[in-house]
Amino acid sequence: MMASPAAYAMIRRFESLRLRSYLDIKGKWTIGYGHKGDDVGSGMIIGLADAQRYLEEDAHFVEFQLNRMILRPVDQWEFDALISLGFNIGTEALRTSTLLKFLNFGEMKKAGEEFLKWNKVTLPNGKKVVVPGLTSRRYLERQYFLTGKMDP
């Protein structure tokens, strides 16, 4: 499967577009729509086309990984919600999650409830804190995963 425009809309909704690199809440250099990596550092400035390219490359990586992890058929909206989640938390975290286990056993309601557990960030000092923006994002992803609707 591939991410649909809805997956990109969810990502853009919660990943602020920043054309100048910045340190995120975890102290990682970030640019564009939440792009991180060895290619991002202090003082970087990119254009909109580069931000879009990073977004697409990052989403394609998540797609590839999800297509290897998901062991049962899923609907497009379920896949899109997982793209948004995986884009944000990383595919390794998703691969080892209870959410994926429930999904692969076909327990979709239980899998949907697991989205809400991913609303914390671990700070460089090891402390986990709830982030209101992540809570909002997880509620939207959960709703979309379970219903195919982004807005109530």
Number of C-beta neighbours around residue 44 at 10 A:
16
- The domains located in the chain, with CATH, are 5-147 (1.10.530.40)
Q: Contact, 71 vs 84, CB < 8 A? A: no
35-51 pLDDT, tens digit each: 999 999 999 999 999 99
- 152, pLDDT greater than 70: no
Work out the average pLDDT over 79-93: 97
49-65 pLDDT, tens digit each: 999 999 999 999 999 99
- 124, pLDDT greater than 90: no
Q: What average pLDDT is seen over the chain? A: 95
Q: What's the confidence (pLDDT) of residue 151?
A: 76
pLDDT above 90 coverage of the chain, percent = 91
Q: Which residues are catalytic?
A: 15
Question: Which of 55, 98, 75 minimizes the C-alpha distance to 147?
Answer: 75
**25 DSSP assignment:** T
